[in-house]
Structure 1
Protein backbone atom coordinates (compact mmCIF):
# COMPACT_ATOMS: atom_id res chain seq x y z
CA UNK A 1 0.00 0.00 0.00
CA UNK A 2 1.24 3.48 -0.87
CA UNK A 3 1.74 5.95 1.95
CA UNK A 4 -0.85 8.28 0.37
CA UNK A 5 -3.78 6.77 -1.52
CA UNK A 6 -7.46 6.00 -1.55
CA UNK A 7 -8.39 2.36 -1.11
CA UNK A 8 -11.65 0.66 -2.05
CA UNK A 9 -13.26 -2.40 -0.51
CA UNK A 10 -16.62 -3.76 -1.68
CA UNK A 11 -18.65 -5.86 0.73
CA UNK A 12 -22.07 -6.90 -0.48
CA UNK A 13 -23.77 -3.78 -1.84
CA UNK A 14 -21.47 -1.32 -0.04
CA UNK A 15 -18.20 0.13 -1.30
CA UNK A 16 -15.95 1.69 1.34
CA UNK A 17 -13.47 4.29 0.14
CA UNK A 18 -10.77 4.93 2.75
CA UNK A 19 -8.51 7.97 2.85
CA UNK A 20 -5.05 6.64 3.72
CA UNK A 21 -2.19 9.07 4.40
CA UNK A 22 -1.08 8.38 7.97
CA UNK A 23 2.05 10.55 7.82
CA UNK A 24 -0.15 13.67 7.33
CA UNK A 25 -3.27 12.67 9.30
CA UNK A 26 -4.96 11.58 6.06
CA UNK A 27 -4.46 14.91 4.30
CA UNK A 28 -5.44 14.72 0.63
CA UNK A 29 -2.53 14.95 -1.80
CA UNK A 30 -2.94 16.13 -5.42
CA UNK A 31 -2.74 12.50 -6.51
CA UNK A 32 -5.52 11.53 -4.13
CA UNK A 33 -7.76 14.36 -5.34
CA UNK A 34 -7.25 13.15 -8.90
CA UNK A 35 -7.83 9.54 -7.89
CA UNK A 36 -11.24 10.10 -6.28
CA UNK A 37 -13.29 10.88 -9.44
CA UNK A 38 -11.77 7.87 -11.20
CA UNK A 39 -12.76 5.59 -8.34
CA UNK A 40 -16.25 7.05 -8.24
CA UNK A 41 -16.71 6.56 -11.98
CA UNK A 42 -15.98 2.86 -11.54
CA UNK A 43 -18.25 2.45 -8.52
CA UNK A 44 -21.10 4.30 -10.18
CA UNK A 45 -20.96 1.87 -13.08
CA UNK A 46 -20.87 -1.22 -10.84
CA UNK A 47 -24.44 -2.58 -10.53
CA UNK A 48 -23.52 -4.50 -7.38
CA UNK A 49 -22.71 -1.30 -5.48
CA UNK A 50 -25.72 0.48 -4.00
CA UNK A 51 -23.99 2.91 -1.63
CA UNK A 52 -20.54 4.26 -0.87
CA UNK A 53 -19.01 4.95 2.53
CA UNK A 54 -16.18 7.49 2.70
CA UNK A 55 -13.95 7.26 5.77
CA UNK A 56 -10.40 7.75 6.97
CA UNK A 57 -7.80 5.23 8.06
CA UNK A 58 -7.08 4.96 11.76
CA UNK A 59 -8.72 7.49 14.06
CA UNK A 60 -8.81 10.44 11.64
CA UNK A 61 -11.19 11.22 8.81
CA UNK A 62 -9.10 13.79 6.93
CA UNK A 63 -7.02 16.70 8.24
CA UNK A 64 -7.42 18.69 5.03
CA UNK A 65 -5.57 19.20 1.79
CA UNK A 66 -1.83 18.73 1.55
CA UNK A 67 -0.65 22.30 0.88
CA UNK A 68 2.78 21.34 -0.42
CA UNK A 69 2.29 23.10 -3.77
CA UNK A 70 0.78 26.44 -2.76
CA UNK A 71 1.36 28.11 -6.14
CA UNK A 72 -0.65 25.41 -7.92
CA UNK A 73 -3.49 25.85 -5.42
CA UNK A 74 -3.52 29.66 -5.78
CA UNK A 75 -3.40 29.54 -9.58
CA UNK A 76 -6.26 27.05 -9.84
CA UNK A 77 -8.86 28.91 -7.74
CA UNK A 78 -12.30 27.37 -8.21
CA UNK A 79 -10.93 25.18 -11.01
CA UNK A 80 -8.81 23.17 -8.57
CA UNK A 81 -8.61 19.39 -8.56
CA UNK A 82 -10.08 19.47 -5.04
CA UNK A 83 -13.23 21.23 -6.25
CA UNK A 84 -13.50 18.82 -9.20
CA UNK A 85 -13.28 15.85 -6.82
CA UNK A 86 -15.81 17.36 -4.45
CA UNK A 87 -18.23 18.09 -7.30
CA UNK A 88 -17.88 14.52 -8.59
CA UNK A 89 -18.63 13.17 -5.13
CA UNK A 90 -21.68 15.41 -4.76
CA UNK A 91 -22.97 14.32 -8.19
CA UNK A 92 -22.44 10.60 -7.56
CA UNK A 93 -25.66 8.84 -8.53
CA UNK A 94 -25.82 6.51 -5.51
CA UNK A 95 -26.09 7.34 -1.79
CA UNK A 96 -22.87 8.38 -0.08
CA UNK A 97 -22.19 8.27 3.66
CA UNK A 98 -19.26 9.93 5.42
CA UNK A 99 -18.18 7.94 8.50
CA UNK A 100 -16.17 10.42 10.54
CA UNK A 101 -13.72 9.94 13.37
CA UNK A 102 -11.29 12.51 14.73
CA UNK A 103 -10.29 15.48 12.59
CA UNK A 104 -12.55 16.45 9.70
CA UNK A 105 -10.97 19.73 8.67
CA UNK A 106 -10.61 21.83 5.53
CA UNK A 107 -10.53 19.48 2.55
CA UNK A 108 -11.85 16.71 4.80
CA UNK A 109 -14.87 18.79 5.77
CA UNK A 110 -15.24 19.66 2.09
CA UNK A 111 -15.54 15.96 1.23
CA UNK A 112 -17.87 15.19 4.13
CA UNK A 113 -20.25 18.00 3.16
CA UNK A 114 -20.36 16.65 -0.40
CA UNK A 115 -21.70 13.31 0.89
CA UNK A 116 -25.42 12.68 1.29
CA UNK A 117 -25.21 11.64 4.95
CA UNK A 118 -22.63 12.28 7.67
CA UNK A 119 -22.32 10.07 10.75
CA UNK A 120 -19.75 11.02 13.34
CA UNK A 121 -18.08 9.39 16.30
CA UNK A 122 -18.24 11.47 19.46
CA UNK A 123 -14.54 12.32 19.14
CA UNK A 124 -14.98 14.00 15.75
CA UNK A 125 -13.91 17.61 15.30
CA UNK A 126 -14.84 19.86 12.39
CA UNK A 127 -13.24 23.01 11.04
CA UNK A 128 -12.97 25.20 7.95
CA UNK A 129 -9.56 26.93 8.23
CA UNK A 130 -8.98 29.18 5.16
CA UNK A 131 -9.06 32.35 7.29
CA UNK A 132 -6.04 31.01 9.20
CA UNK A 133 -4.21 30.60 5.89
CA UNK A 134 -5.28 33.70 3.98
CA UNK A 135 -7.11 31.64 1.35
CA UNK A 136 -10.51 32.15 -0.27
CA UNK A 137 -12.57 29.01 0.12
CA UNK A 138 -13.87 27.89 -3.31
CA UNK A 139 -17.27 29.32 -4.17
CA UNK A 140 -18.92 25.94 -4.93
CA UNK A 141 -17.62 24.60 -1.61
CA UNK A 142 -18.77 27.67 0.31
CA UNK A 143 -22.26 27.53 -1.20
CA UNK A 144 -22.59 23.80 -0.50
CA UNK A 145 -21.62 24.38 3.15
CA UNK A 146 -24.09 27.26 3.48
CA UNK A 147 -26.93 25.19 2.01
CA UNK A 148 -26.24 22.47 4.56
CA UNK A 149 -25.81 24.48 7.78
CA UNK A 150 -27.30 27.86 6.89
CA UNK A 151 -25.58 31.20 6.21
CA UNK A 152 -24.91 32.12 9.84
CA UNK A 153 -23.16 28.89 10.80
CA UNK A 154 -21.24 28.85 7.51
CA UNK A 155 -20.00 32.36 8.24
CA UNK A 156 -19.03 31.41 11.78
CA UNK A 157 -16.97 28.47 10.56
CA UNK A 158 -15.36 30.50 7.78
CA UNK A 159 -14.76 33.71 9.76
CA UNK A 160 -13.29 32.09 12.88
CA UNK A 161 -11.67 28.85 11.66
CA UNK A 162 -12.64 27.42 15.05
CA UNK A 163 -12.97 23.69 15.54
CA UNK A 164 -16.41 22.53 16.65
CA UNK A 165 -17.10 19.25 18.39
CA UNK A 166 -19.45 16.53 17.24
CA UNK A 167 -22.37 17.61 19.43
CA UNK A 168 -22.29 21.17 18.10
CA UNK A 169 -21.94 19.81 14.56
CA UNK A 170 -25.11 17.80 15.20
CA UNK A 171 -26.99 20.83 16.52
CA UNK A 172 -26.19 22.97 13.48
CA UNK A 173 -26.92 20.22 10.95
CA UNK A 174 -23.35 19.56 9.87
CA UNK A 175 -23.78 15.88 10.80
CA UNK A 176 -26.88 13.69 10.96
CA UNK A 177 -26.00 11.47 13.92
CA UNK A 178 -23.32 11.24 16.61
CA UNK A 179 -22.40 7.80 17.93
CA UNK A 180 -20.04 6.44 20.56
CA UNK A 181 -16.79 5.54 18.84
CA UNK A 182 -17.41 1.81 19.16
CA UNK A 183 -20.90 2.15 17.67
CA UNK A 184 -20.11 4.12 14.53
CA UNK A 185 -19.25 1.19 12.26
CA UNK A 186 -22.35 -0.78 13.24
CA UNK A 187 -24.63 2.20 12.63
CA UNK A 188 -23.08 2.92 9.24
CA UNK A 189 -23.47 -0.77 8.35
CA UNK A 190 -27.13 -0.72 9.40
CA UNK A 191 -27.92 2.36 7.33
CA UNK A 192 -26.16 1.13 4.21
CA UNK A 193 -27.81 -2.29 4.59
CA UNK A 194 -31.22 -0.61 4.73
CA UNK A 195 -30.39 1.44 1.63
CA UNK A 196 -29.36 -1.72 -0.18
CA UNK A 197 -32.72 -3.36 0.58
CA UNK A 198 -34.87 -0.46 -0.59
CA UNK A 199 -36.12 0.29 -4.09
CA UNK A 200 -33.13 1.67 -5.96
CA UNK A 201 -35.56 3.52 -8.22
CA UNK A 202 -36.94 5.43 -5.23
CA UNK A 203 -33.46 6.08 -3.83
CA UNK A 204 -32.02 7.34 -7.13
CA UNK A 205 -35.02 9.56 -7.89
CA UNK A 206 -35.04 10.99 -4.37
CA UNK A 207 -31.37 11.91 -4.56
CA UNK A 208 -31.76 13.69 -7.90
CA UNK A 209 -34.86 15.60 -6.79
CA UNK A 210 -33.54 16.63 -3.37
CA UNK A 211 -30.28 17.79 -4.95
CA UNK A 212 -32.18 19.91 -7.47
CA UNK A 213 -30.86 18.02 -10.49
CA UNK A 214 -34.21 16.83 -11.86
CA UNK A 215 -36.25 19.19 -14.03
CA UNK A 216 -39.92 18.60 -14.85
CA UNK A 217 -39.11 16.29 -17.74
CA UNK A 218 -36.78 14.22 -15.59
CA UNK A 219 -39.38 13.94 -12.82
CA UNK A 220 -41.91 12.76 -15.40
CA UNK A 221 -39.33 10.20 -16.57
CA UNK A 222 -38.99 8.91 -13.01
CA UNK A 223 -42.76 8.51 -12.69
CA UNK A 224 -42.70 6.61 -15.97
CA UNK A 225 -40.06 4.31 -14.52
CA UNK A 226 -42.37 3.55 -11.59
CA UNK A 227 -45.16 2.52 -13.97
CA UNK A 228 -42.91 0.53 -16.30
CA UNK A 229 -40.85 -1.27 -13.66
CA UNK A 230 -43.62 -2.58 -11.43
CA UNK A 231 -41.68 -1.45 -8.34
CA UNK A 232 -44.69 0.15 -6.67
CA UNK A 233 -46.93 -2.85 -7.34
CA UNK A 234 -44.29 -5.17 -5.86
CA UNK A 235 -43.84 -2.92 -2.83
CA UNK A 236 -47.56 -2.71 -2.10
CA UNK A 237 -48.04 -6.46 -2.64
CA UNK A 238 -45.12 -7.31 -0.36
CA UNK A 239 -46.50 -5.01 2.33
CA UNK A 240 -49.91 -6.68 2.14
CA UNK A 241 -48.32 -10.13 2.25
CA UNK A 242 -46.00 -9.11 5.09
CA UNK A 243 -42.85 -10.16 3.28
CA UNK A 244 -39.73 -8.33 2.14
CA UNK A 245 -40.23 -6.78 -1.30
CA UNK A 246 -38.27 -8.15 -4.24
CA UNK A 247 -37.32 -4.94 -6.00
CA UNK A 248 -35.54 -5.38 -9.32
CA UNK A 249 -35.14 -1.96 -10.91
CA UNK A 250 -31.64 -1.03 -12.01
CA UNK A 251 -30.51 2.24 -13.61
CA UNK A 252 -30.21 2.17 -17.40
CA UNK A 253 -26.69 1.59 -18.68
CA UNK A 254 -25.21 4.87 -19.83
Structure 2
Protein backbone atom coordinates (compact mmCIF):
# COMPACT_ATOMS: atom_id res chain seq x y z
CA UNK A 1 0.00 0.00 0.00
CA UNK A 2 1.40 3.39 -1.00
CA UNK A 3 2.43 5.84 1.69
CA UNK A 4 -0.12 8.61 2.13
CA UNK A 5 2.51 11.14 3.22
CA UNK A 6 5.98 10.93 1.72
CA UNK A 7 9.11 12.21 3.46
CA UNK A 8 12.19 13.32 1.52
CA UNK A 9 15.29 14.60 3.35
CA UNK A 10 17.60 16.95 1.46
CA UNK A 11 20.54 17.93 3.68
CA UNK A 12 18.60 19.85 6.33
CA UNK A 13 15.50 20.47 4.23
CA UNK A 14 12.68 17.94 4.65
CA UNK A 15 9.79 17.82 2.19
CA UNK A 16 6.54 16.16 3.29
CA UNK A 17 4.20 15.38 0.39
CA UNK A 18 0.50 14.58 0.72
CA UNK A 19 0.30 11.53 -1.53
CA UNK A 20 -3.21 10.76 -2.76
CA UNK A 21 -2.92 12.37 -6.19
CA UNK A 22 -5.67 10.22 -7.66
CA UNK A 23 -8.04 11.72 -5.05
CA UNK A 24 -6.58 15.25 -5.25
CA UNK A 25 -4.88 14.55 -1.91
CA UNK A 26 -8.21 14.61 -0.07
CA UNK A 27 -7.67 14.33 3.67
CA UNK A 28 -8.59 11.14 5.48
CA UNK A 29 -8.03 9.89 9.00
CA UNK A 30 -5.39 7.52 7.67
CA UNK A 31 -3.52 10.31 5.89
CA UNK A 32 -3.62 12.46 9.03
CA UNK A 33 -2.20 9.60 11.05
CA UNK A 34 0.79 9.39 8.73
CA UNK A 35 1.22 13.17 8.86
CA UNK A 36 1.14 13.02 12.66
CA UNK A 37 3.74 10.24 12.69
CA UNK A 38 6.06 12.33 10.51
CA UNK A 39 5.56 15.42 12.67
CA UNK A 40 6.45 13.47 15.81
CA UNK A 41 9.58 12.05 14.17
CA UNK A 42 10.74 15.36 12.68
CA UNK A 43 10.18 17.41 15.84
CA UNK A 44 13.12 15.71 17.57
CA UNK A 45 15.32 15.24 14.50
CA UNK A 46 18.22 17.67 14.81
CA UNK A 47 19.23 17.03 11.19
CA UNK A 48 16.02 18.72 9.99
CA UNK A 49 16.28 22.52 9.84
CA UNK A 50 13.31 23.39 7.63
CA UNK A 51 10.14 21.55 6.60
CA UNK A 52 8.05 22.08 3.46
CA UNK A 53 4.57 20.58 3.22
CA UNK A 54 3.17 20.16 -0.31
CA UNK A 55 0.83 18.00 -2.37
CA UNK A 56 1.54 15.42 -5.06
CA UNK A 57 0.10 15.69 -8.54
CA UNK A 58 -2.43 18.30 -9.60
CA UNK A 59 -2.90 20.20 -6.33
CA UNK A 60 -2.00 20.74 -2.67
CA UNK A 61 -5.27 19.20 -1.46
CA UNK A 62 -8.95 19.49 -2.33
CA UNK A 63 -9.74 19.31 1.41
CA UNK A 64 -11.63 16.84 3.57
CA UNK A 65 -12.52 13.55 1.93
CA UNK A 66 -16.32 13.66 2.08
CA UNK A 67 -16.47 9.93 1.33
CA UNK A 68 -14.36 9.31 4.44
CA UNK A 69 -16.79 11.44 6.46
CA UNK A 70 -19.80 9.76 4.87
CA UNK A 71 -18.41 6.33 5.67
CA UNK A 72 -18.28 7.28 9.32
CA UNK A 73 -14.49 7.19 9.61
CA UNK A 74 -13.68 8.73 12.97
CA UNK A 75 -10.41 9.94 14.48
CA UNK A 76 -8.89 8.22 17.52
CA UNK A 77 -10.19 10.92 19.86
CA UNK A 78 -12.16 14.16 19.95
CA UNK A 79 -9.99 17.06 18.82
CA UNK A 80 -7.37 14.71 17.35
CA UNK A 81 -7.08 16.54 14.00
CA UNK A 82 -6.73 19.90 15.74
CA UNK A 83 -4.16 18.43 18.14
CA UNK A 84 -2.16 17.07 15.19
CA UNK A 85 -2.05 20.46 13.47
CA UNK A 86 -1.07 22.14 16.74
CA UNK A 87 1.80 19.69 17.05
CA UNK A 88 2.96 20.67 13.56
CA UNK A 89 2.53 24.36 14.33
CA UNK A 90 4.66 24.10 17.47
CA UNK A 91 7.52 22.17 15.88
CA UNK A 92 10.79 24.00 16.71
CA UNK A 93 11.55 24.32 12.98
CA UNK A 94 10.13 26.55 10.24
CA UNK A 95 7.28 24.77 8.43
CA UNK A 96 6.25 26.15 5.05
CA UNK A 97 3.08 25.24 3.15
CA UNK A 98 3.82 25.13 -0.60
CA UNK A 99 0.40 25.40 -2.24
CA UNK A 100 -0.47 24.87 -5.88
CA UNK A 101 -3.98 24.66 -7.34
CA UNK A 102 -6.71 23.55 -4.87
CA UNK A 103 -6.44 24.31 -1.14
CA UNK A 104 -9.93 24.06 0.29
CA UNK A 105 -11.38 23.92 3.80
CA UNK A 106 -9.50 21.17 5.70
CA UNK A 107 -6.52 21.66 3.40
CA UNK A 108 -6.57 25.38 4.17
CA UNK A 109 -6.65 24.55 7.89
CA UNK A 110 -3.55 22.40 7.37
CA UNK A 111 -1.78 25.17 5.42
CA UNK A 112 -2.66 27.76 8.07
CA UNK A 113 -0.99 25.61 10.73
CA UNK A 114 2.29 26.10 8.86
CA UNK A 115 4.39 29.20 9.51
CA UNK A 116 3.47 30.76 6.18
CA UNK A 117 2.21 29.88 2.71
CA UNK A 118 4.21 29.98 -0.51
CA UNK A 119 1.69 29.90 -3.37
CA UNK A 120 2.01 29.04 -7.03
CA UNK A 121 0.16 31.44 -9.30
CA UNK A 122 -2.55 28.82 -9.94
CA UNK A 123 -3.34 28.39 -6.23
CA UNK A 124 -6.97 28.65 -5.13
CA UNK A 125 -8.12 28.87 -1.52
CA UNK A 126 -11.56 28.52 0.07
CA UNK A 127 -13.39 27.83 3.32
CA UNK A 128 -16.41 25.77 2.27
CA UNK A 129 -17.67 24.64 5.68
CA UNK A 130 -20.93 26.50 5.08
CA UNK A 131 -21.54 24.74 1.77
CA UNK A 132 -21.72 21.37 3.53
CA UNK A 133 -23.39 22.47 6.80
CA UNK A 134 -20.16 21.89 8.72
CA UNK A 135 -18.34 23.98 11.32
CA UNK A 136 -14.59 24.23 11.92
CA UNK A 137 -12.94 21.86 14.40
CA UNK A 138 -9.39 21.89 12.99
CA UNK A 139 -8.61 25.55 13.67
CA UNK A 140 -10.12 27.60 10.82
CA UNK A 141 -12.06 29.96 13.10
CA UNK A 142 -8.87 30.80 15.01
CA UNK A 143 -6.05 30.81 12.46
CA UNK A 144 -7.80 32.37 9.45
CA UNK A 145 -8.76 35.67 11.18
CA UNK A 146 -5.30 35.89 12.73
CA UNK A 147 -3.84 35.65 9.22
CA UNK A 148 -6.20 37.86 7.20
CA UNK A 149 -8.25 39.84 9.75
CA UNK A 150 -11.68 39.01 11.10
CA UNK A 151 -13.75 40.82 8.43
CA UNK A 152 -11.96 39.06 5.56
CA UNK A 153 -12.21 35.74 7.41
CA UNK A 154 -15.95 36.28 7.81
CA UNK A 155 -16.28 37.07 4.10
CA UNK A 156 -14.45 33.88 3.13
CA UNK A 157 -16.46 31.82 5.62
CA UNK A 158 -19.89 33.23 4.80
CA UNK A 159 -19.50 33.20 0.99
CA UNK A 160 -17.42 30.02 0.59
CA UNK A 161 -15.92 31.87 -2.36
CA UNK A 162 -12.72 30.74 -4.05
CA UNK A 163 -9.80 33.12 -3.52
CA UNK A 164 -7.20 33.08 -6.31
CA UNK A 165 -3.48 33.42 -5.64
CA UNK A 166 -3.29 37.16 -6.40
CA UNK A 167 -6.13 37.91 -3.98
CA UNK A 168 -4.61 35.58 -1.37
CA UNK A 169 -1.43 37.64 -1.59
CA UNK A 170 -3.33 40.92 -1.27
CA UNK A 171 -5.19 39.85 1.89
CA UNK A 172 -2.11 38.32 3.51
CA UNK A 173 -3.20 34.70 3.27
CA UNK A 174 -0.22 33.80 1.07
CA UNK A 175 3.18 35.28 1.87
CA UNK A 176 4.22 35.43 -1.77
CA UNK A 177 3.33 33.99 -5.16
CA UNK A 178 5.55 32.50 -7.86
CA UNK A 179 4.80 31.18 -11.37
CA UNK A 180 3.86 27.51 -11.40
CA UNK A 181 6.69 26.84 -13.86
CA UNK A 182 9.28 27.86 -11.24
CA UNK A 183 7.41 26.50 -8.20
CA UNK A 184 9.66 23.50 -7.53
CA UNK A 185 12.80 25.61 -7.92
CA UNK A 186 11.44 28.25 -5.54
CA UNK A 187 10.56 25.61 -2.93
CA UNK A 188 14.16 24.38 -3.01
CA UNK A 189 15.58 27.92 -2.96
CA UNK A 190 13.40 29.06 -0.06
CA UNK A 191 13.92 25.89 1.95
CA UNK A 192 17.67 26.05 1.46
CA UNK A 193 17.81 29.73 2.48
CA UNK A 194 15.98 28.93 5.72
CA UNK A 195 17.89 25.71 6.42
CA UNK A 196 21.21 27.55 6.08
CA UNK A 197 20.40 29.76 9.07
CA UNK A 198 20.70 28.76 12.72
CA UNK A 199 18.23 26.09 13.93
CA UNK A 200 18.73 27.50 17.44
CA UNK A 201 17.54 30.94 16.28
CA UNK A 202 14.60 29.47 14.38
CA UNK A 203 13.35 27.51 17.40
CA UNK A 204 13.83 30.44 19.78
CA UNK A 205 12.14 32.89 17.42
CA UNK A 206 9.13 30.61 16.96
CA UNK A 207 8.73 30.37 20.73
CA UNK A 208 8.92 34.16 21.14
CA UNK A 209 6.48 34.85 18.32
CA UNK A 210 4.03 32.23 19.58
CA UNK A 211 4.14 33.47 23.18
CA UNK A 212 3.63 37.16 22.32
CA UNK A 213 1.18 36.97 19.41
CA UNK A 214 -1.61 39.57 19.92
CA UNK A 215 -0.15 40.79 23.22
CA UNK A 216 0.16 44.55 23.84
CA UNK A 217 3.52 45.83 22.59
CA UNK A 218 4.96 46.66 26.02
CA UNK A 219 4.02 43.21 27.34
CA UNK A 220 5.61 41.60 24.29
CA UNK A 221 8.80 43.63 24.65
CA UNK A 222 9.05 42.69 28.31
CA UNK A 223 8.55 39.02 27.45
CA UNK A 224 11.25 39.22 24.79
CA UNK A 225 14.01 40.57 27.02
CA UNK A 226 13.02 38.34 29.93
CA UNK A 227 12.58 35.12 27.96
CA UNK A 228 14.98 35.52 25.02
CA UNK A 229 17.37 32.57 24.89
CA UNK A 230 20.38 34.65 23.93
CA UNK A 231 23.28 33.29 21.95
CA UNK A 232 23.10 29.82 20.50
CA UNK A 233 25.76 27.10 20.54
CA UNK A 234 26.52 27.73 16.86
CA UNK A 235 26.94 31.53 17.23
CA UNK A 236 30.71 31.61 17.64
CA UNK A 237 31.27 29.35 14.64
CA UNK A 238 28.91 31.35 12.43
CA UNK A 239 30.47 34.68 13.40
CA UNK A 240 34.01 33.35 12.91
CA UNK A 241 33.07 32.03 9.48
CA UNK A 242 31.74 35.44 8.48
CA UNK A 243 34.82 37.28 9.75
CA UNK A 244 37.08 35.01 7.67
CA UNK A 245 35.40 36.09 4.44
Q: TM-score, normalised by structure 1?
A: 0.84
Mapped pair 1:222 → 2:229: yes
Deviations 1:27-70 (A, max 9, x none): 01111112211111111222211111100001200000112234
How far does residue 18 in structure 1 lie from its aligned partner after superposition? 0.6
Tell which deviates more after alignment, 102-111 or 191-200.
191-200
Is residue 53 of structure 1 aligned with residue 52 of structure 2? yes
Asked if 1:91 is matched to 2:78, the reply is no
Instruction: Give 1:248's aligned residue.
Output: none
The equivalent of 2:145 in structure 1 is 146
The runs of 4+ residues in structure 1 deviating greater than 2 Å are 67-73, 78-82, 138-141, 213-221, 233-242
Which residue in 1 is equivalent to 2:162? 163
Q: Which SS does the other structure have where 1:26 is aligned?
A: coil
SS at match of 1:52: strand
* Residue in 2 that maps onto 1:69: 69
Instruction: Judge conservation of contact 1:13–1:49 (CA < 8 Å) in 2.
Output: yes
Q: Which residue of structure 2 lines up, in the alignment, with residue 39 of structure 1?
A: 38
Give the C-alpha shift of residue 218 in structure 1. 10
Unpaired segments ≥5 residues, structure 1: 243-254
Worse-superposed segment, 32-41 or 174-183: 32-41
Deviations 1:129-162 (A, max 9, x none): 0010111112733111111111011111111100
Q: Which SS does the other structure have where 2:139 is aligned? A: helix
Deviation at 1:194, TM superposition (A): 1.4
Q: Partners in 1 of 2:198 and 2:46 — Cα distance?
A: 14
Aligned residue-pair number: 235
SS of 2:161's partner is: coil
Name the residue aligned to 2:244. Answer: 241
Structure 1 residues 73-103: Cα deviation after superposition (integer angstroms, max 9, x where no partner): 8x88x93432222212111111111111110
TM-score of the two chains, using structure 2 as the length reference:
0.86
Shift of 1:183: 1.2
